[in-house]
Every structure is written in structure tokens, then in C-alpha cells.
């Protein structure tokens, strides 16, 4: 089955600097990965995704990098802003079939003014 791990429960960054959030997965049977952002008392919202035919995908200040050999994803936010303070989840398809999206434990990002 698929396991998704975000080993850093929290990250603190100064405004204007780069935020780097990391994610590891175990099963590469499916090749589409996603990042979600969640504010308190709200549902998660989609942020950015990447297909395994790419090793990088950019959307404004957000860039996701994929290292398939290491089964590792990272999300870069440049420059970080206080409004980026939220919980970030990475997600990968389940290990044996479509239909299951497995999420990591989440990383709490705090951007200080």
C-alpha cells in the first residue's frame, strides 16, 4: 500500500525567505502527486500538483520538485509571506488502485513578519 511521510511537523521561516517542505512516498505505481494547504477551521484546498513525466512544476511563488529515484517530493515557496502560514499536506495515489489518495501527516508552516 502507499505510505506518505512528512517528517517535519513544523517549520518556521522569516517573511521574504524560502520555505522548503519535504515529503517521501513508498509506492510509485501511480505517478501524480499533489500538495494541499489548510487554514484553521477550513477544509484543505488544492495548491499544486506534479506528474512523474516532469521533475519540476511551477505556479507563481510555488514550485514542486519530484525526485523519482529517491521517491521524494519537495515544495518551495519563494518568497514566503505571512499569509502562507498554514498546514501543508502532500498526497499520493494509493498503492494498489485508483480511488485512494493517501495524505502525509502535514507540516505546520509559520511565516514571521
Partner 1 sequence: NAGVTQTPKFQVLKTGQSMTLQCAQDMNHEYMSWYRQDPGMGLRLIHYSVGAGITDQGEVPNGYNVSRSTTEDFPLRLLSAAPSQTSVYFCASSYDTPGTGNGELFFGEGSRLTVL
Residue numbers at the binding site for partner 1 (CB under 8 A): 4, 6, 9, 30, 32, 34, 36, 41-46, 49, 51, 89, 91-94, 98-106
* Nearest distance, CB of residue 113 and partner 1, angstroms: 27
Q: How far is CA 17 from CA 38, 64, 104, in A?
A: 21, 17, 24
* Nearest distance, CB of residue 9 and partner 1, angstroms: 7
Which residue in 67, 69, 49, 46 sits closest to 58, CA to CA? Answer: 49
Question: Please, which residue, 22 or 105, has the CB nearer to partner 1?
Answer: 105
Burial of 66 (0-12, 13-18, 19+ CB in 10 A): buried
* Nearest distance, CB of residue 98 and partner 1, angstroms: 4
Question: Please, which residue, 38 or 76, has the CB nearer to partner 1?
Answer: 38
Nearest-angstrom CA–CA distance, 48 and 32: 11
Amino acid at each position: 500500500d502507499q505510505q506518505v511521510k512528512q517528517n517535519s511537523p513544523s517549520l518556521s521561516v522569516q517573511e521574504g525567505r524560502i520555505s522548503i517542505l519535504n515529503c517521501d512516498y513508498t509506492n510509485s505505481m501511480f505517478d501524480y502527486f499533489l500538495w494541499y494547504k489548510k487554514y484553521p477551521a477550513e477544509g484543505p484546498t488544492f495548491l499544486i500538483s506534479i506528474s512523474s513525466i516532469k521533475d519540476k512544476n511551477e505556479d507563481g511563488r510555488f514550485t514542486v520538485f519530484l525526485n523519482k529515484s529517491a521517491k521524494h517530493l519537495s515544495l518551495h515557496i519563494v518568497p514566503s509571506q505571512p499569509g502562507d502560514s498554514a498546514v501543508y499536506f502532500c498526497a499520493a495515489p494509493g498503492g494498489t488502485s485508483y480511488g485512494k489518495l493517501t495524505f502525509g501527516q502535514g507540516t505546520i508552516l509559520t511565516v514571521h513578519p
